[in-house]
């Protein structure tokens, strides 16, 4: 008998139609515990749509999605988050009017074990929970170099720090799998280098697996263990970074017919 650990994320024949259009068709992704997996492809290939199906924003028309062996397709977005999937967004979607600290605390709030009455009467479970949440939030901000910004409004942060804060906020929900949607978009090479180190740190320090959409190929090739390539909603290749770099079909999809 062989013991196999269930893959953390597994999509089988996942697909969705928008009107008559098959936006995503027959996508089979797998992310094992501890893996960093890339999802690349030209614009409009359906990458973000895959993220939206995995997180329950869209309901897939076909196929199944499993998290650690249990079906999650059809579950609500908040409950999928509770089960252990968090994400960031291609276009940053922080709670801009809230402080940096509150953005993280909101994401932590599920872990707080106290009720409304306790909060109003400031009972000790409330105070204890608040203190530990505060510490956790401060710790996360510290790790990502945002501690000094904690009282700033999230919308006032420079672009690169907003991207980082999105990662911190997602991480605060204590996911097993983190979906990063173009984390390096709009970053300069310096910021991208920091981000690369940060993604590797996510796996080592926070024990999360990562599924990453990214157009910056140097980043993808550096951090990913394996890569899936989508084009027109279909998988056209999969493999290790060197395999993908030399794959003729991938080159054709990116550069067009020569």
x/- letters, 47..66, toward another protein (CB under 8 A): --------x-x---------
Smallest separation (angstroms) from another protein to the CB of 107: 5
In the bound state with another protein, the residue whose beta carbon lies nearer, of 107 and 198, is: 107
Q: Rounded distance, CA 4 to CA 8, Å?
A: 12
User: Three-class SS string for 114-154?
Assistant: CCHHHHHHCCHHHHHHHHHHHHHHHHHHHHCCCHHHCCCEH
Query: Is 171:179 a contact under the CB 8 Å cutoff?
Result: no
- Whole-number Å distance between alpha carbons of 87 and 198: 15
Among the listed ranges 16-24, 66-74, 90-98, 239-247, the one in contact with another protein (CB under 8 A) is: 90-98
If the CB atoms of residues 11 and 173 are measured against another protein, the closer one turns out to be 173
Q: Which of 64, 62, 59 is nearest to 76 (CA)?
A: 59
Task: Give phi and psi for 71, each to the nearest 5.
Answer: -65, 135
Q: Do the beta carbons of residue 164 and residue 115 sit within 8 Å? A: no
Residues 114-133 that bind another protein (CB under 8 A): 114, 116, 119-120
Pick 14 or 94: Cβ nearer another protein: 94
Phi-psi region of 238 (alpha: psi -120 to 50; beta: other; left: phi over 0): beta
Q: How far apart are the C-alpha atoms of 177 and 31, rounded to whole Å?
A: 9
Q: How far is the CB of 170 from another protein (least distance, A)?
A: 7
Which residues contact residue 76 at a Cβ distance below 8 angstroms, ignoring those fewer than 6 apart? 56
Question: What's the closest the beta carbon of residue 78 comes to another protein, in angstroms?
Answer: 5
Nearer to another protein, 16 or 86 (CB): 86
Options 81, 162, 192, 196; binder of another protein; rule CB under 8 A: 81
| Binding residue (CB under 8 A) for another protein from 59, 71, 93, 252 | 93
Residue placing its CB nearer to another protein in the complex, 32 or 138: 138
Burial profile 204-241: b = 16 or more Cβ within 10 angstroms, e = fewer: eeeebbbbbbbebeebbbbbbbbbbbbbebbbbbbeeb
Applying CB under 8 A, among 26, 32, 66, 102 the residue interacting with another protein is 102
Structure tokens, 92: 């940053």
Which window, 12-20, 22-30, 99-107, 216-224, contacts another protein (CB under 8 A)? 99-107
Stretch 164-203: interaction string toward another protein, x if CB under 8 A: -----xx--x------------------------------
Write the binding mask 151 to 170 for another protein: x where contact by CB under 8 A, - elsewhere.
------------------xx
Closest Cα to residue 114, out of 104, 101, 124, 102?
A: 124
Residues that bind another protein (CB under 8 A): 55, 57, 76-78, 81-82, 86-87, 89, 93-98, 102-103, 105-107, 109-110, 112, 114, 116, 119-120, 169-170, 173
């Amino acid at each position: 008998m062989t013991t196999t650990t269930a893959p953390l994320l597994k999509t089988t024949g996942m697909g969705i139609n928008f009107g008559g259009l098959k936006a995503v068709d027959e996508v089979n992704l797998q992310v094992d515990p501890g893996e960093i997996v890339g999802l690349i492809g030209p614009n409009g290939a359906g990458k973000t749509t895959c993220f939206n199906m995995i997180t329950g924003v869209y309901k897939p028309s076909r196929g199944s999605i499993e998290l650690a062996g249990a079906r999650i397709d059809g579950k609500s977005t908040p409950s999928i988050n509770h089960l252990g999937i968090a994400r960031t967004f291609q276009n940053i979607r922080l709670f801009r009017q809230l402080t940096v600290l509150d953005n993280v605390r909101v994401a932590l709030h599920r872990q707080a074990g106290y009720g409304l009455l306790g909060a109003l009467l400031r009972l000790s479970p409330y105070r204890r929970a608040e203190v530990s949440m505060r510490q956790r939030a401060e710790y996360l901000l510290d790790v990502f170099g945002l501690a000094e910004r904690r009282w700033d409004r999230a919308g006032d942060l420079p672009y690169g720090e907003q991207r980082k804060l999105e990662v911190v906020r997602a991480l605060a929900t204590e996911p097993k799998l983190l979906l990063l949607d173009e984390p390096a978009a709009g970053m300069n090479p310096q910021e991208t280098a920091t981000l690369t180190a940060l993604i590797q740190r996510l796996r080592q320090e926070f024990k999360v697996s990562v599924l990453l959409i990214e157009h910056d190929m140097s980043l993808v090739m550096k951090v990913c263990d394996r890569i899936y390539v989508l084009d027109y909603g279909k998988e056209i290749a999969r493999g290790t970074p060197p395999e993908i770099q030399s794959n003729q079909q991938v080159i054709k999809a990116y550069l067009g017919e020569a």
